[in-house]
């Protein structure tokens, strides 16, 4: 059987962002440990249900097998993410905006503070943005007092860097 080849699109060129804070890395390691503790029980459940009869009509077996497959895939994903992690250590030099810095900007007369981290940890509702986002990418390298222009999907905005921590 031939494996279908997907046509390239805009998502096929996105490279994963492995930049994490030490707290996020510790959280991923904790989740990995939990999944590794769950896996033996899930494997035992699959083994037990495989002994109960015909595979074609054993919905419990199919569900347990799917659950085990999901656990195994999540373990592989977490191991890969942990192995390739680049820990973000904010530079002590706050003369320019860098990854890991907290930046206060003035946009249309309103002051907003953002923490610039990797793509894995973004949460715009809590003021955590990615260095790959339009505003995060525009702010990197600027100094206090600089005017920064960035473009969203529909508009162009201008802001001023007020404070870098």
Structural domains in the chain, CATH included, are: 18-86 (1.10.287.180), 102-164 (3.10.50.30)
* Model pTM score: 0.76
Is residue 8 classed exposed, middle or buried when 0-12, 13-18 and 19+ CB atoms within 10 A define those classes? Answer: exposed
84: how many CB neighbours lie within 10 A of its CB? 10
What residue spans of 21-133 are helical by DSSP H? Answer: 22-50, 59-83
Alpha carbon distance 137, 111 (integer Å): 19
pLDDT, averaged across the chain? 88
pLDDT digits (tens, 9 = 90+) for 18-67: 899 999 999 999 999 999 999 999 999 989 888 877 767 778 888 999 99
What does the pLDDT average to over 94-98?
91
Give the CA distances from residue 68 to residues 28, 38, 44, 132, 157, in Å, rounded to whole numbers and listed in that order.
19, 9, 10, 34, 48
Strand partners, 156: 151
């Amino acid at each position: 059987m031939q494996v279908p080849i997907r046509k390239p699109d805009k998502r096929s060129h996105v490279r994963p962002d492995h930049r994490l804070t030490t707290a996020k890395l510790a959280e991923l390691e904790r989740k990995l440990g939990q999944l590794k503790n769950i896996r033996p029980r899930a494997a035992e459940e699959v083994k037990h249900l495989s002994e109960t009869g015909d595979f074609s009509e054993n919905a419990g077996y199919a569900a347990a097998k799917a659950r085990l497959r999901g656990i195994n895939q999540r373990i592989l994903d977490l191991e890969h993410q942990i192995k390739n992690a680049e820990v973000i250590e904010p530079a002590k030099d706050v003369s320019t905006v860098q990854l890991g810095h907290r930046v206060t900007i003035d946009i249309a007369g309103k002051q907003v503070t953002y923490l610039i981290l990797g793509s894995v940890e973004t949460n715009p509702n809590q003021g955590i943005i990615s260095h790959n986002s339009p505003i995060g990418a525009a702010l990197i390298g600027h100094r206090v007092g600089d005017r920064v222009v960035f473009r969203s999907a529909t508009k162009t905005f201008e802001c001023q860097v007020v404070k870098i921590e």
